[in-house]
Amino acid sequence: MPVIILNNISKFVCKNINLKILNKEFLVLLGPNGAGKSTLLNVIAGLIDYDGSVFFEDECINNLPSSERRIGYLFQDLYLFPHLDVFSNIAFSLKIRKNNPNKIKHRVDELLKMLRIENLSHCYPKKLSGGEKQRVALARSLAAEPEILLLDEPLSSLDLQSSKYLRRELKQLQKKLGITTIYVTHNLTEAEEIADRIAVMEQGKIEQIGKAEEIFFSPKNKRVSEFIGAPNILDCNRYRNLGKGIAEVDCEGLSIIIPDEGKKVKKIVMLPRDIYVTEIKPPGPEVNRFKGVITDINTTNEVVRLKLKAGKSSLLAELPHHIYNGMNLEIGKEVFFILKLRNIKCI
């Protein structure tokens, strides 16, 4: 049953957006900067005026002020109140709801423990590290036990390791609390790792919504495909378990080794950036190494894309400019390419 329904929402870049978010779902809004993701969060939170309707369950909440929407909102830059210590930041929503001091202390202590920041209770935000600030902001948004949690690129300012760690924690926490969550990001890996469903947004429109595999294996149109990195999707017609966690599949004339997940594979998908191209035959075992011919070269601002023909397959590979410039590649030239085993996704 959907807990949030957006009906013909229009604001700034967003035009007539319709979206249903299910109860206890972890939905990721994925899209480039300026796609309208944060605008949509602000609409749900009631922080901006908008055209259209927002329903929580069956009730239209257009006229409900932000303060009464029972939402926890984690902003991109967190905005911890600098003049309040960690305890008071977390207790803020409880104090203004006039909870009694014992209850406030109990709830704040519970959150401090849950997010493992008990030792920071009396610190001011300026003394905290990026990860600690993240945890405090999350605790603050959860303090009043909101029914919906909105997260606007909350991990974008963290280093890769901390971001990955906190992402896992966030997902576990969401499952434990059973709270409907909408998470905004432009990072595909983040979305894939954390989402129950992903909604891909481009220029104020939801282009596609579905599970991560659906987005990867069946991008609805070129815009979605381009945004997720123009993946190569190959049909598989033979599957052979080789043991030791790997299997062999025959995909359009290429015999490819894939990670074995114990089920028959119908399709595999790999991103162009996960295909390594070289002019000379690479040393080492002949695993996922093929010879192909360049049939097209397409240069964009960010990368150079090569179209490779190998067997019956046509694959797209991607090189950064500085690597492409150091090679002598042209249409019709024979090259070698390697598919990175760990980055092959299967369905």
Partner 1 sequence: MKILRKLIPGWGAIPVIIFLILWEIIARINLISGELFFPPFSLIVVEFYYLTANGVLGNHFFSSFSRVLIGFSFGTIAGLFIGILMGWKSLIHKALNPIISLIYPIPALGWLPLLMLWLGIGEILPIAIIFICSFFPILYNTSTGIKNVDKNYINVAKSLGASNREILTLIVIPLALPNIFTGLKLESGMAWRVIIAAEMVAIPTGIGALMMRAESLMRIDIIIVCLIVLAAMCFIFERFFLYLENKFTALWS
* Cβ proximity to partner 1, 91 vs 228, nearer residue: 91
How far apart CA 142 and CA 90 sit, in angstroms, is 8
- C-alpha span between 341 and 118 (Å, rounded): 42
Rounded least distance, CB 68 to partner 1, Å: 7
Residue whose CB is less far from partner 1, 151 or 254:
151
Residue 11 found at the interface with partner 1 (CB under 8 A):
no
Taking the complex as a whole, the smallest distance from the CB of residue 258 to partner 1 amounts, in Å, to 45
CB of 84 to partner 1, least distance (A): 8
Which is closer to partner 1, CB of 46 or CB of 229? 46
From candidates 4, 19, 40, 93, binder to partner 1 by CB under 8 A? 93
How many whole angstroms from its chain centre is CA 149? Answer: 16
Query: Which of these, 163, 172, 107, 183, lies nearest to 140 by C-alpha position?
Result: 107
Q: Which stretch binds partner 1 (CB under 8 A): 62-70, 197-205, 262-270, 302-310?
A: 62-70
Per CB under 8 A, does 82 bind partner 1?
A: yes
Cβ pair 49, 30 in contact under 8 A:
no
Q: For partner 1, which is the closer residue by CB, 36 or 72?
A: 72
Contact status: 154 vs partner 1 (CB under 8 A): no
CB count in 10 Å sphere of residue 194: 22
| Window 30 to 59, contacts with partner 1 (CB under 8 A) | 42, 45, 47
- For 274, the 3-state DSSP assignment is helix
Among 73, 87, 216, 227, binds partner 1 (CB under 8 A): 73
Count other C-beta atoms under 10 Å from residue 310's C-beta.
17
- Beta carbon of residue 320, minimum distance to partner 1 (angstroms, whole number): 36
Q: Do residues 142 and 111 lie in contact, with contact meaning Cβ atoms separated by under 8 Å?
A: yes
CA distance 87 to 95: 11
Q: Which of 33, 63, 83, 302 binds partner 1 (CB under 8 A)?
A: 83
Question: What are the tokens at 293?
Answer: 């011919």
Sign of CA dihedral 173, 175, 180, 185: positive
Give me the amino acid identity at 88: S
Maximum distance among all alpha carbons in the chain?
Answer: 76
Measured from the CB of residue 343, what is the shortest distance to partner 1 in angstroms?
37
In angstroms, give the least distance from the CB of 121 to partner 1.
14
Segment near partner 1 (CB under 8 A); pick from 5-13, 60-68, 215-223, 259-267: 60-68
- 171, 176, 178, 181: CA torsion to nearest 10: -20
Q: How many CB atoms lie within 10 A of CB 245?
A: 10
* Min CB(119)–partner 1 separation in Å: 18
Interface stretch with partner 1, choices 67-75, 219-227, 229-237, 259-267 (CB under 8 A)? 67-75
Residues linked to residue 273 through DSSP beta bridges, in sequence order: none
Q: Rule CB under 8 A: say whether 300 interacts with partner 1.
A: no
Rule CB under 8 A: choose which of 97, 168, 238, 263 binds partner 1.
Answer: 97
Query: Nearest approach, Cβ of 75 to partner 1 (angstroms)?
Result: 6
Q: Are 44 and 82 in contact (CB under 8 A)?
A: no
Bridge pairing between strands 303-310 and 313-320: antiparallel
Smallest gap from residue 69 Cβ to partner 1 (A): 8
In whole angstroms, give the CA distance from residue 134 to residue 77.
9
Interface with partner 1 (CB under 8 A) = 42, 45, 47, 65-69, 71-73, 75, 77, 79, 81-84, 92-93, 96-97, 124-126, 140-141, 143-144, 150
